[in-house]
Amino acid sequence: LGNNNDIITSKLYQLAAIGFPLQISREILKDIEDVAVDRGEKRTLPLVIGEVNSKRIAYGLVGIVNGSMLFSPYYWKMFASTPPVYAISVAVGTSMCFVASRLELGKGQRLLKKSIYVLLSGMISGLLI
C-alpha cells in the first residue's frame, strides 16, 4: 500500500508542477490589469519591474510549462490513456495559451484561465481512464 501512495503522491506533485506556474502567470496578468488601482497601495510585480517585463515573465512561465508538457516523455507516459485525452488537452490547451498571449490583456488572462482547466482536466482524465 505504501508504494501505491508514493505513486499517487508523485502524480499529484506533477499536477501541481503544471498548475501552480500557470496560475501564477494568470495572477501576474491580473496584477497588470490592476496597476492603476494598486499604484501607491501595493508592491506588485508589474509595479516593481514594469508591465511589459511582467507580461514576458507570465507568458514565459506558460511557455516553460507547455514545453515540459509537450516534450517530457514522463508526462506522456504518466497520463497515457485510451482515448488520448492528455494528448488532446495538450494540443487544445497549448493552442489556447498561444492565442491568449496575443490577445488584449483582459481577454488573454481569461482565455489562459480556460486553458488551465483544459490542461489539468486532460491530465486528471488521463490518470482516471
Q: Any alpha helices (H) in the chain, and if so which ranges? A: 2-33, 35-38, 45-49, 51-71, 73-78, 85-102, 105-128
Task: Identify the pLDDT of residue 7.
Answer: 80
Task: Identify the pLDDT of residue 1.
Answer: 54
Q: What is the pLDDT of residues 14-35, one digit of tens each?
A: 888 888 998 899 999 999 999 9
Mean pLDDT of the chain: 90
**Is 10 exposed, middle or buried (CB count within 10 Å of its CB: 0-12, 13-18, 19+)?**
exposed
The set of cell numbers assigned to 50 is 514594469
Question: What's the mean pLDDT in 46-54?
Answer: 95
Q: What is the pLDDT of residues 91-124, one digit of tens each?
A: 999 999 999 989 999 899 899 889 989 988 998 8
* Cα–Cα distance measured from residue 110 to residue 55, given in angstroms and rounded to the nearest whole number: 14
Give the angle subtended at the CA of 62 by the CAs of 113 and 21, to the nearest 5°: 75
pTM, two decimals, is 0.82
pLDDT score of 84 more than 70: yes
